[in-house]
C-alpha cells in the first residue's frame, strides 16, 4: 500500500467509524434515526405491555393451561423475542411484551383468543382450531409472474385426517373459516389435501395474509380466553441501573483499548479503531434489525466483543512470532493474518452454529441472546479480518515500519503442562463433585439444589396502590427494603404501572399470614389502603416447555459443534475433548451457582450459553495450533512435546483474551446494581474457568485420548 493510499484508507476508516459512533450517539435527523436510545429494550430495561387473560371455562386442567401458555409464548415472540407468558392464579394467563407501550394496539393486533372452526356451507364443523399446528403468511410468485400472498397451514396428525375428509367431501365448494361466530375467510377447495399442509391463496396483500394467519393461530388454543385487564408497566431495572451499566461498559471498553495499545503498540492502535467500528456497527444494526435488547442480549454482546478482541490477539501474536524468525514487518503482517485465519474462522463459525441453533430452537431470553450473539460474531469477524487489516496496512504505509513498534515474540521455554495434567484433573473433579454434593445437601435440607428465582419457581404478585407515583429507583430505595424485611428475602422484582400510581411487586410464594403482615407494613410505612392491596399467585415465567426448548437447543448446538470440529480437524478425539471441556466449564460454574447460592433466574440460561461459546472458542485456538505443529513436526518430535509447545505458544492469547473480557464484565460488576452483579459474577467465574480449562484441561484431554485410543486406519 502506497503512502497516499494509506492516508486515504485511514481517513475513510476513521470517518466511517466516527459516523457510526455519532449515529449511535445522536442519530440522524429530527427523528434521531439509528440512535442507541431508540434501540428496543426489554421489560427489565424499559418496561412494556402487560395483558391478563382469564379462561372462559371454569377449572381448566393443567394440561390445557400449559398447552395454551406455550402456544401463546411462541405467538407473542413476533412482537419481541423477550416476551414472556406465565400463569397467574388458577385460571389466568399473563403476557408481558417488552419494548411496546401501546396496550390497545397490541390487544387489537393480538385479538381475543377465542374459538375457531372450519365449517361446510351448511355450518357443520369439519376442523377445529386445535387441529391447526401453525399458520404463516407467505409471499409467492404466481404462474403469470405476479407477486401473490397466501396463508400456509400445517395441521396436527388428527387434524390432517379431518382435513383430508373435509376437502374430499367439499371439492369445488367453499369452507368458511369461522372465528367467534364470524366468517373471516371462505376459501374454495381446489383439490383433496391429504398431507396436512394447506394454503389459502390469492390474498390481497401480505398484511391481510398476516392478519388471517394471526387469527387462525389465536383460535388454535385449547382454551378460549377473555381479556381481564391490560396495562403498561415500567422497567424492572431503574434509570440508575441502566446509566451505571452504560458507564461501566464505556469504562470497560476504554480500558480494553488502552490495554491493547500498551501491549501491542501499533497493532493495538489498529485494533482500537476496529473495535470502535464494531461498537458503532453493533449499535446501529441493533436499531436497523429492530432487535430487543435485555440483560441476556448484553451477555451476547459481551461474548462477541471478547471474540473480536480474541481475533486481534491471535493475529498480533502470529505477527510477533513471524518477526521473531527474522521476517520483515510487511511479510510478518501478511503471514500473520494468513496463519491466524483458520483459528479465527473455526472458532467463530463454531460459536455461530450454536447461535443459529439456539435462535431457531430456543425461545424467550435464549432467542434474544442468540440474535445478538450471531450479529456480534459476524461483525467481530468483519472488523478483525477486514478493518484491522486495512488500518494496520495504512499505518505501515504512513511510515510506522520499525519492528519495535510491532513487538517481537521473545523465545519462550516450553512449559510441561501435561506433567501437571493429573493434578488439574483432580482439582476439576473436586470442584465439580463439591458442587454436586452441595446441591444434594441443600436439596435434602429443603433449601433446593439451586437458588431458583421467581422466573423458575413462581411466587406472589402484589399490586400496591400508592397515593403518589414512585420511580423505580425510589421503589428500590424505599419499598424493597420494607418488603424484604417482612418476607425474609431480597429477591424482589418491581414494576410501575404507567397511567396510575400502582406498583407491582413480585416475590417468593407468600403465605396468607405473611401477605397480611406485608400489607400492614406497607400501610404503616407509606399510608396505602390495606384493603386496596391485591395479591395473586403466579407461575414461573420460564415454563417447563421453555426450559425444554432451551435444553433441546443447547444439546442440538453441542452436537452440531462436535460434528463441525470433527469435520475440520478430521479426528473425533478433538471434538470429544472440546465438548468434554465445555461440559467441564458448565459444571464448574453450576457448582459456583450452587455453593454461592447465586439466584438462578432468567439470566442464568444466557450466562451458561455465554460460557459455552467462550469455552468452545478458547479450545479451538489450542487445537488449531496442535494441528499446525503436528503437520510440520519432525519424526523425532514426540506428541507430548507438540502438545506442550502448542499450549505454551497460545498461552499469551489465553491470558490476554481472558483478561480483556474479564475487564469488561468486572466493570459491570463493580459499578452495577445488585441485579447486574448477580448477572456479572458468574460470568467472571466462567471466564476464569474458561481460561483454566483451555490451558490446563483441553490439550491434556486430547493427549490422553490420542495416546490411549489409537485411531484405526
Residue 548 has pLDDT above 90, yes or no: no
> What is the torsional sign of CA 451, 453, 458, 461?
positive
| Cα gap 315→406, rounded to integer Å | 12
Instruction: Give the pLDDT score at 493.
Output: 83
Cα 571 from chain centre: 30
Span 677-681, average pLDDT: 80
Q: What is 606-618 written as a DSSP string?
A: HHHHHHHHHHHHH
Asked if 3-25+242-405 and 420-435+544-653+670-708 have one fold, the answer is: yes
Q: What angle, rounded to 10 degrees, do the helices at 329-361 and 295-324 form?
A: 160
Q: What three-state secondary structure class fits 347?
A: helix
Give me the residue spans of the domains in the chain: 3-25+242-405, 48-112+229-233, 116-220, 420-435+544-653+670-708, 459-538
Span 608-625, average pLDDT: 83
Residue 176 has pLDDT above 80, yes or no: yes
520-547 pLDDT, tens digit each: 999 999 998 888 888 877 777 665 666 7
298-331 pLDDT, tens digit each: 777 777 787 788 889 889 988 998 998 889 999 9
46-97 pLDDT, tens digit each: 677 888 888 888 888 888 888 888 778 777 876 776 788 888 778 888 888 8
Span of 142-146, 233-237, 406-410 with lowest mean pLDDT? 233-237
∠ CA(66), CA(67), CA(70), 5° rounding?
85
Q: Do 273 and 17 contact (CB within 8 A), yes or no?
A: yes
Query: Residue 689 burial by CB count (10 A; 0-12/13-18/19+): exposed, middle or buried?
Result: buried
363 pLDDT tier (thresholds 50, 70, 90) = low
Q: Do 267 and 318 contact (CB within 8 A), yes or no?
A: no
Query: Residue 442 burial by CB count (10 A; 0-12/13-18/19+): exposed, middle or buried?
Result: middle
Instruction: Kindly state the helix (H) or strand (E) to which residue 438 belongs, with its residue range.
Output: helix 421-444
Instruction: Give the pLDDT score at 291.
Output: 78
First to last CA, the chain: 48
**Homologous superfamily in CATH for domain 420-435+544-653+670-708:** Multidrug efflux transporter AcrB transmembrane domain (1.20.1640.10)
Residue 129 has pLDDT above 50, yes or no: yes
Q: Do 472 and 237 contact (CB within 8 A), yes or no?
A: yes
154 pLDDT tier (thresholds 50, 70, 90) = very high
The residue among 571, 581, 650 whose CA lies nearest residue 612 is 581
Residue 366 has pLDDT above 80, yes or no: no
State which of 24-38, 584-598, 622-636 shows the largest mean pLDDT. Answer: 584-598
Residue 157 has pLDDT above 70, yes or no: yes
407 pLDDT tier (thresholds 50, 70, 90) = confident
> Is pLDDT larger for residue 246 or for residue 193?
193
Q: What is the CA radius of gyration of the chain?
A: 29
| Cα gap 336→402, rounded to integer Å | 16
CATH code of the region 459-538 = 3.30.70.2040
423-478 pLDDT, tens digit each: 999 999 999 999 999 999 988 887 778 888 777 777 888 989 998 888 878 888 89
Residue 352 has pLDDT above 70, yes or no: yes
| Cα gap 439→431, rounded to integer Å | 12
Instruction: Give the pLDDT score at 331.
Output: 94
Instruction: Give the pLDDT score at 109.
Output: 63
Beta strands in 63-131 (DSSP E): 84-88, 92-98, 116-119, 125-128
Query: Given its phi and psi angles, is residue 631 left (phi above 0), alpha (psi -120 to 50 degrees) or beta?
Result: alpha
Instruction: Give the pLDDT score at 634.
Output: 66
Span 119-146, average pLDDT: 86
Span 382-408, average pLDDT: 91
Residue 247 has pLDDT above 90, yes or no: no
Span 404-431, average pLDDT: 89
The residue length of the chain stands at 713
387 pLDDT tier (thresholds 50, 70, 90) = very high
Give the neighbor-by-neighbor strand order of the sheet with 84-88: 225-233, 48-55, 92-98, 84-88, 534-538, 459-465, 502-507, 493-496
Instruction: Give the pLDDT score at 713.
Output: 41
| Cα gap 189→561, rounded to integer Å | 45
> Is pLDDT larger for residue 71 or for residue 634?
71
| Cα gap 174→119, rounded to integer Å | 9
| CATH value of 116-220 in 3.30.1360.200, 3.40.605.10, 3.40.1260.10, 3.50.30.30 | 3.30.1360.200
Instruction: Give the pLDDT score at 710.
Output: 59
Calculate the alpha carbon distances from 360 to 71, 125, 317, 330, 579 in Å.
16, 35, 36, 43, 21
Instruction: Give the pLDDT score at 241.
Output: 66
- The architecture (CATH level 2) of 48-112+229-233 comes to 2-Layer Sandwich (3.30)
Average pLDDT of the chain to the nearest whole number: 84
Number of H helices, E strands in the chain: 24, 17
| Per CATH, domain 3-25+242-405 is 1.10.10.60 | no
> Is pLDDT larger for residue 553 or for residue 337?
337
251 pLDDT tier (thresholds 50, 70, 90) = confident
| Cα gap 6→12, rounded to integer Å | 10
712 pLDDT tier (thresholds 50, 70, 90) = very low
Amino acid at each position: 500500500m502506497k503512502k497516499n493510499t494509506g492516508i486515504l484508507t485511514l481517513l475513510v476508516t476513521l470517518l466511517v467509524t466516527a459516523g457510526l459512533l455519532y449515529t449511535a450517539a445522536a442519530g440522524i435527523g429530527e427523528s434521531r434515526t439509528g440512535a442507541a436510545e431508540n434501540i428496543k429494550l426489554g421489560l427489565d430495561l424499559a418496561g412494556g405491555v402487560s395483558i391478563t387473560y382469564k379462561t372462559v371455562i371454569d377449572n381448566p386442567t393443567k394440561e390445557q393451561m400449559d398447552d395454551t401458555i406455550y402456544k401463546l409464548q411462541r405467538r407473542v415472540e413476533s412482537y419481541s423475542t423477550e416476551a414472556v407468558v406465565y400463569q397467574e392464579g388458577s385460571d389466568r394467563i399473563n403476557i408481558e411484551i417488552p419494548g411496546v407501550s401501546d396496550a390497545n394496539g397490541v390487544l387489537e393486533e393480538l385479538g381475543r383468543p377465542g374459538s375457531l372452526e372450519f365449517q361446510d356451507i351448511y355450518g357443520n364443523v369439519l376442523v377445529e382450531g386445535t387441529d391447526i399446528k401453525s399458520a404463516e403468511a407467505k409471499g409467492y410468485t404466481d404462474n403469470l409472474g405476479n407477486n401473490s400472498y397466501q396463508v400456509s397451514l400445517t395441521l396436527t396428525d388428527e387434524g390432517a385426517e379431518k382435513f383430508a375428509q373435509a376437502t374430499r367431501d367439499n371439492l369445488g365448494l367453499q369452507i368458511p373459516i369461522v372465528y367467534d361466530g364470524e366468517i373471516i375467510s371462505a376459501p374454495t377447495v381446489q383439490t383433496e389435501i391429504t398431507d396436512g399442509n394447506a394454503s389459502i391463496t390469492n390474498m390481497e396483500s401480505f398484511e391481510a395474509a398476516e392478519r388471517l394467519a394471526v387469527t387462525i393461530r389465536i383460535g388454535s388454543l385449547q382454551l378460549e380466553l377473555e381479556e381481564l385487564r391490560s396495562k403498561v408497566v415500567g422497567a424492572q431495572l431503574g434509570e440508575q441501573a441502566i446509566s451505571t451499566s452504560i458507564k461501566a461498559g464505556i469504562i470497560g471498553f476504554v480500558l480494553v483499548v488502552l490495554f491493547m495499545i500498551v501491549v501491542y503498540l501499533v497493532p493495538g492502535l489498529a485494533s482500537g479503531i476496529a473495535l470502535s467500528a464494531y461498537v458503532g456497527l453493533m449499535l446501529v444494526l441493533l436499531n436497523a434489525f429492530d432487535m430487543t435488547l435485555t440483560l441476556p442480549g448484553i451477555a451476547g454482546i459481551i461474548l462477541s466483543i471478547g471474540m473480536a478482541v480474541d481475533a486481534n490477539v491471535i493475529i498480533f501474536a502470529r505477527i510477533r512470532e513471524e518477526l521473531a524468525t527474522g521476517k520483515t514487518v510487511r511479510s510478518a503482517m501478511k503471514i500473520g493474518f494468513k496463519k491466524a485465519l483458520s483459528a479465527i474462522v473455526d472458532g467463530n463459525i463454531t460459536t455461530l452454529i450454536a447461535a443459529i441453533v439456539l435462535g431457531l430452537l430456543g425461545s424467550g431470553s435464549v432467542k434474544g441472546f442468540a440474535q445478538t450473539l450471531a450479529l456480534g460474531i459476524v461483525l467481530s469477524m468483519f472488523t478483525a479480518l477486514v478493518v484491522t487489516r486495512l488500518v494496520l496496512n495504512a499505518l505501515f504505509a504512513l511510515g510506522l515500519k520499525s519492528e519495535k513498534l510491532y513487538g517481537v515474540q521473545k523465545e519462550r521455554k516450553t512449559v510441561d503442562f501435561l506433567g501437571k495434567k493429573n493434578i488439574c484433573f483432580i482439582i476439576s473433579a473436586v470442584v465439580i463433585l463439591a458442587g454436586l454434593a452441595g446441591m444434594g445437601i441443600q436439596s435434602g435440607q429443603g433449601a433446593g439444589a439451586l437458588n431458583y428465582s421467581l422466573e423458575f419457581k413462581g411466587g406472589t404478585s402484589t399490586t400496591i396502590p400508592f397515593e403518589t407515583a414512585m420511580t423505580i429507583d425510589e421503589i428500590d430505595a424505599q419499598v424493597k427494603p420494607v418488603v424484604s424485611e417482612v418476607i425474609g428475602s431480597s429477591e424482589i422484582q418491581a414494576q410501575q404501572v404507567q397511567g396510575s400510581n400502582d406498583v407491582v411487586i413480585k416475590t417468593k410464594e407468600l403465605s396468607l399470614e405473611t401477605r397480611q403482615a406485608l400489607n400492614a407494613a406497607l400501610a404503616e410505612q407509606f399510608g396505602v389502603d390495606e384493603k386496596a392491596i391485591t395479591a395473586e399467585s403466579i407461575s414461573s415465567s420460564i415454563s417447563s416447555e421453555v426450559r425444554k426448548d432451551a435444553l433441546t437447543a443447547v444439546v442440538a448446538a453441542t452436537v452440531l459443534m462436535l460434528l463441525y470440529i470433527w469435520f475440520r480437524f478430521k479426528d473425533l478425539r478433538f471434538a470429544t475433548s472440546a465438548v468434554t471441556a465445555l461440559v467441564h466449564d458448565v459444571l464448574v460454574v453450576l457448582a459456583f451457582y450452587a455453593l454461592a447460592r447465586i439466584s438462578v433466574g432468567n439470566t442464568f440460561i444466557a450466562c451458561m450459553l455465554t460460557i459455552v461459546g467462550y469455552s468452545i472458542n478458547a479450545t479451538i485456538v489450542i487445537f488449531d495450533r496442535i494441528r499446525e505443529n503436528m503437520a510440520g513436526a519432525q519424526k523425532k518430535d514426540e506428541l507430548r512435546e507438540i502438545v506442550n509447545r502448542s499450549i505454551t505458544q497460545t498461552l499469551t492469547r489465553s491470558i490476554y483474551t481472558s483478561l480483556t473480557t474479564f475487564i469488561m464484565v468486572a466493570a459491570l460488576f463493580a459499578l452495577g446494581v445488585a441485579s447486574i452483579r448477580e448477572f456479572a459474577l458468574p460470568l467472571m467465574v466462567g471466564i476464569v474457568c474458561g481460561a483454566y480449562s483451555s490451558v490446563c484441561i483441553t490439550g491434556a484431554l486430547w493427549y490422553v485420548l490420542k495416546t490411549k485410543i489409537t485411531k484405526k486406519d
